[in-house]
Amino acid sequence: MSETSVYNPVARAMHWAIVLLIAVEFVLAWLMPDVRRDTQPVGLIAWHIGVGTSILALMVLRLVWRAAAGAPALLAGPVWQEHLAKLVHGVLYAGFLVLPLLGWANASSRAWTVHLAGVLSLPALAPAGAAWAHELGDVHQFVAYVLLGAIGLHVAGALYHAVVLRDDTMHRMWPRRR
């Protein structure tokens, strides 16, 4: 496989780092206590916010990097598969920018200070007590599960290439050792 058809090392590192953080983030979401009126952002909830804001920051860096360094063209295949792959990639990029912002706005409505990676305090996205931002808590949860479905489709596509078609798609993101 030629060098230009493999994702560059920075793009690969960010893809797999984000995969890992998203897996951790869902586990934290399932383990953390239910968020109620008097809940404070401590313990697993603080971890959920710290990891979630890190995902947001990495997604922004990843898109900036993609715009600057580019990405290899998709491998040729049936047109509908190319369209589906591009659509799912678009949903994942947009979704993992919007999802943390929804959580952040909800946290702000609860008068919580949101810290990037648990360290750097960020501005509020909504006024404390804002009803619309409070509602976004449910939207945040709903969008998280829609994106879990999109990840399922994406992973199924990757496995289809690796196991059934046995083409080089997986090695563009996880190169073979020479």
Query: Residues interacting with ligand HEM, by CB under 6 A?
Result: 15, 18-19, 22, 25-26, 29, 35, 48-49, 52-53, 55, 66, 71, 74, 85, 89, 92-93, 96, 99-100, 103-104, 106-107, 114, 137, 140-141, 144, 151, 154-155, 158, 169-170, 172-173
Comparing CB distances to ligand HEM, the nearer of 87 and 178 is 87
Q: In angstroms, what is the minimal distance from the CB of 48 to ligand HEM?
A: 6
Q: In angstroms, what is the minimal distance from the CB of 164 to ligand HEM?
A: 14
CA distance 2 to 136: 45
Comparing CB distances to ligand HEM, the nearer of 10 and 173 is 173
Task: With beta carbons less than 8 A apart as the criterion, state whether 32 and 44 touch.
Answer: yes
Q: In angstroms, what is the minimal distance from the CB of 128 to ligand HEM?
A: 14
Q: In angstroms, what is the minimal distance from the CB of 177 to ligand HEM?
A: 16
Q: In angstroms, what is the minimal distance from the CB of 178 to ligand HEM?
A: 19
Cβ-Cβ contacts under 8 Å for 74 (sequence gap 6 or more): 82, 85, 86
Comparing CB distances to ligand HEM, the nearer of 53 and 126 is 53
Comparing CB distances to ligand HEM, the nearer of 109 and 178 is 109
Would you give the DSSP letter of residue 36? -
CA distance 114 to 120: 8
Comparing CB distances to ligand HEM, the nearer of 15 and 130 is 15
Dihedral of alpha carbons 117, 121, 45, 130, sign: negative
Helix axes 131-159, 79-109, angle to 10 degrees: 150
